[in-house]
């Protein structure tokens, strides 16, 4: 069924134009809420109108305004910036210059005085650790460091009076990228101002420049001299707006109403821009919308130049999919769609949160599912990754991820096998459980309720570096990705009883293998006995809920015909669960008493710290995270955190509910706390690296029905990792910030 849809759509995908769109967008320095971003939005709006879609341009006032728990970014305008090193022999060397090299400045750097600043350069190693600053004279100096920009800005600039920072970061990807591999490239580094905190400047060096500068500083110190630098930044901030391009393709047979205005008028009161049918538009002329169900496709439009795969490829693939669907409708190539299709281009995550809060619950509740297109145009031979289908979280079970896997298989299985009886994939592709880190993580939040899988290439050796250029994009992969997206969107938009019955059968076929694969992982982690059996039941129940989610696609008059297929699929899942339960009981009984792996950390009631159970891939910390503190910080434990900060011990026997939908965005809230509390939280998070990078999964279960231990247990069922101490500390932080309530 999906194969036929994909084959009908593929000739309609304009690959040449998609590559042109990648080129046009990647030329722009599209930092959120900046002139370059607006130019990119202009391009996408123009292209969407050319394709015949009904377009709204939402302009959402920003500044430091909060929407849900997200603090919006102020607009940043940088005209020029330069960093010069003053060598001991009297020569100067330019190490960074903006806009000639867009990544050479830390994005959102604050301005210097008009003539710039000149100061001594100080090198601090292992600079994220507060003890590394003992004895360092940072005041009035420029500091060379590696690590998290906002943490180091606080330690160096806010706490110790440094003038600015130099970074030579290059995060390594095990088996794919080392600092040496990209020694002459720069890594994307940004400040994230989310309040009125003091702001400094920063420059980004290549790894090779950083090593030379460290050596020069050491040689100067040995000779009793000082290495100095001159920095100048011409920039300013203003409130600005978060802009979202919202393009709608109505259900077939629904006549487009006359537009009021051209869709570009700003709604200064936070309302929908006039007249082209944006989600949440009213029927009274303030916006011509429809109350029908919808499916969504999202792509984030932000990121620095020259980023081509991240995420200009997703932007272009969404446009190509929109063009294919619009043409298919005009030419009657496919059956009618029951639901509208909405394409959204916005700043990553910040724009998604702002858009959802802007249009309101009634609008996003109409979306039965969404597809997140991230980095989808990669030349796999150069970038080293694979096309990846990431499923929605188990906290929001859905058909949507299974449908995306089916659509991907239908498109990439292009070549015959050796015997000719099967077809094999022409590219590397895989499926993974939910991780997060992009817009689907917000949409799939159970309090939002729009299940959203993601299509992405991962890993990518050029990710977030100046090497992410147009030559790393494969036009054939762009066509494949756009075809996958178009097929997924059409199926979800057109589906009724027959389509849902077909998908139920495909899901019932895939789920037993998924259950067995995940059980193997839990067994390797040491799960045994009742714990493993309870987890098997939990996973089975999530699979049944995903099947139940199909019912939303089925009109009332077709429910009877669908019921038989749904019942058969449920019976298949129940049968697979019973077989797996018996299989693992038998395997456990057959294991020698001394040879079976013990029930390790992660067992019920046993908190997991940094040295506990193996980390599930879906919550793995970034490379290099979790290094042991050289000297234990007083706040590294829960008791120490509460003593250091003075936070009250929350009522952990009460049920916890988040105040706002959407995962909690901590960074902007942390910056408003006293410095001692920020330092304490950093130390506590460093001691619990796994969950410090996956708090959104804990967030999903704070829905007013669970106590903290139940939240921690639910997250463990999803990820295989449990850390009760971190969960309690995290809830204490959220209570301190006023982001949760106890019921």
Over the chain (743 residues), what is each successive 10-residue block's mean pLDDT? 95 97 98 96 98 97 88 93 90 96 98 96 95 95 97 94 97 96 98 83 98 94 93 96 97 47 31 42 32 92 97 98 97 93 97 97 97 97 97 97 98 87 90 96 98 98 98 98 98 96 97 96 95 97 97 93 94 97 95 50 33 30 41 89 92 93 91 91 94 94 96 95 95 96 94
Cβ-based burial of 332 (10 A; exposed 0-12, middle 13-18, buried ≥19): exposed
Bridge-partner residues for 296, per DSSP? Answer: 342, 370
- CB-CB contact of 373 with 455 (8 Å): yes
Instruction: Using alpha carbons, select from 393, 404, 339 the residue that is nearest to residue 367.
Output: 339
Report CA-CA distances (Å) from 136 to 58, 86, 131, 144, 255.
48, 21, 10, 12, 69
Q: Are 461 and 173 in contact (CB under 8 A)?
A: yes
pTM, rounded to two decimals: 0.91
- Cα gap 543→546, rounded to integer Å: 5
CB-count exposure of residue 594 (10 Å: 0-12, 13-18, 19+): exposed
Quote the CA–CA distance of 438 and 302 in Å, as a whole number. 12
Cα 151–153–157 angle (5° rounding)? 140
Q: In Å, what is the CA distance from 684 to each residue of 162, 642, 648, 687? A: 25, 10, 16, 5
Instruction: Give the whole-angstrom CA distance, residue 140 versus residue 119.
Output: 7
* Other Cβ atoms closer than 10 A to 278: 31
- d(CA 285, CA 68) in angstroms, rounded, equals 28
CA distance 339 to 292: 6
Q: List residues bridging with 297 in a β-sheet.
A: 343, 371
DSSP assignment of 178-245 equals -TGGGTT--B--B----SS----EEEE--HHHHHHHHHHHHHHHHTT---EEEEEEEEEEE--EEEEE
Tell me which DSSP letter residue 309 carries: T
What is the SS3 string spanning 426-493?
CCCEEEECCCCCCCHHHHCCCCCCCCCCEEEEECCCCCCECCCCHHHECHHHHHHHHHHHHHHHHHHH
Cβ(164)–Cβ(117) below 8 Å: yes
pLDDT at 593: 53
Inter-residue contact 10 to 322 (CB < 8 Å): no
Residues 6 or more apart from 609 whose CB is under 8 A from it? Answer: 601, 687, 688, 723, 725
């Amino acid at each position: 069924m999906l194969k036929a849809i994909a084959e009908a759509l593929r000739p309609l995908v304009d690959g040449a134009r998609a590559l042109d769109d990648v080129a046009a967008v990647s030329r722009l320095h599209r930092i959120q809420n900046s002139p370059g971003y607006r130019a990119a939005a202009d391009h996408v709006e123009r292209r969407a109108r050319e394709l015949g879609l009904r377009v709204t341009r939402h302009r959402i006032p920003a500044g430091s305004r909060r929407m849900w728990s997200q603090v919006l970014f102020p607009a940043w305008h940088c005209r020029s910036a330069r960093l010069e090193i003053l060598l001991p022999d009297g020569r100067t060397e330019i190490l960074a210059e903006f806009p000639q090299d867009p990544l050479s400045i830390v994005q959102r750097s604050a301005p210097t005085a008009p003539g710039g600043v000149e100061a001594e350069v100080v090198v601090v190693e292992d600079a994220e650790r507060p003890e590394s600053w003992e004895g360092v004279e940072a005041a009035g100096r420029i500091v060379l460091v590696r690590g998290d920009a906002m943490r180091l800005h606080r330690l160096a600039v806010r706490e110790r009076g440094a003038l600015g920072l130099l970074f030579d970061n290059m995060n390594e990807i095990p088996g794919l990228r080392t600092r040496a591999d990209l020694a002459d490239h720069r890594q994307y580094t940004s400040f994230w101002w989310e309040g009125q905190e003091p702001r400094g400047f920063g420059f980004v060096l290549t790894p090779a420049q950083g090593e030379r500068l460290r050596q020069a500083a050491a040689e100067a110190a040995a000779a009793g001299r000082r290495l100095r630098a001159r920095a100048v930044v011409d920039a300013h901030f203003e409130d600005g707006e978060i802009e979202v391009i919202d393009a709608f393709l109505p259900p077939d047979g629904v006549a487009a109403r006359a537009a009021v205005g051209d869709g570009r008028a700003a709604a200064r009161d936070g309302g929908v821009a006039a007249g082209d049918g944006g989600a949440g538009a009213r029927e009274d002329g303030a916006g011509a919308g429809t109350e029908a169900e919808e499916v969504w496709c999202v792509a984030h439009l932000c990121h620095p130049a020259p980023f081509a795969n991240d995420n200009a490829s997703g932007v272009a693939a969404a446009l190509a999919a929109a063009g294919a669907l619009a043409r298919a409708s005009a030419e009657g190539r496919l059956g009618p769609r029951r639901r509208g299709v909405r394409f959204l281009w916005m700043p990553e995550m910040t724009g998604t949160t702002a858009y959802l809060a802007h249009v309101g619950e009634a609008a996003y509740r109409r979306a039965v599912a969404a597809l997140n297109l991230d980095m989808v145009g990669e030349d796999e031979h150069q970038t080293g990754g694979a096309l990846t289908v990431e499923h929605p979280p188990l906290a929001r079970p859905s058909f949507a991820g299974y449908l995306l896997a089916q659509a991907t298989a239908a498109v990439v299985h292009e070549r015959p096998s050796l015997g000719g009886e099967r077809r094999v994939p022409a590219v590397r592709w895989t499926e993974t459980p939910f991780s997060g880190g992009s817009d689907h993580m917000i949409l799939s939040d159970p309090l939002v309720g729009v299940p959203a899988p993601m299509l992405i290439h991962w890993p990518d050796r050029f990710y977030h570096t100046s090497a992410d250029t147009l030559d790393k994009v494969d036009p054939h992969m762009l066509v494949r990705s756009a075809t996958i997206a178009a097929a997924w969107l059409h199926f979800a938009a057109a589906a009724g009883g027959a389509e849902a019955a077909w998908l139920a059968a495909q899901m019932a076929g895939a789920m037993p293998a998924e259950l067995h694969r995940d059980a193997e992982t839990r067994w390797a982690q040491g799960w045994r006995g009742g714990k493993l059996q309870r987890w098997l039941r939990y996973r089975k129940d999530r699979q049944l809920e995903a099947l139940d989610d199909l019912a939303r696609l089925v009109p009332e008059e077709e429910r009877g015909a669908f019921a038989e297929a749904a019942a058969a699929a449920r019976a298949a899942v129940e049968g697979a669960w019973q077989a797996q339960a018996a299989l693992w009981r038998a395997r456990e009984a057959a294991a020698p008493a001394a040879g079976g792996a013990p029930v390790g950390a992660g067992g019920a009631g046993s908190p997991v710290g940094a040295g506990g159970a193996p980390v599930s891939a879906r919550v793995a910390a970034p490379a290099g995270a979790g290094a042991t503190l050289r000297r234990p910080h007083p706040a590294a434990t829960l008791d120490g955190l509460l003593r250091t900060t003075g936070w009250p011990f929350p009522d952990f026997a009460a049920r916890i509910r988040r105040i706002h939908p959407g995962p909690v965005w901590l960074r902007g809230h942390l910056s408003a706390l006293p410095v001692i509390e920020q330092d304490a939280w950093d130390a506590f998070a460093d001691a619990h690296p796994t969950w410090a990078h996956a708090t959104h999964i804990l967030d999903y279960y704070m829905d007013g029905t669970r106590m903290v231990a139940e939240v921690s247990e639910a997250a463990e069922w999803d990820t295989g990792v449990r850390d009760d101490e971190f969960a309690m500390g995290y809830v204490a932080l959220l209570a301190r910030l006023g982001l949760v309530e106890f019921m």
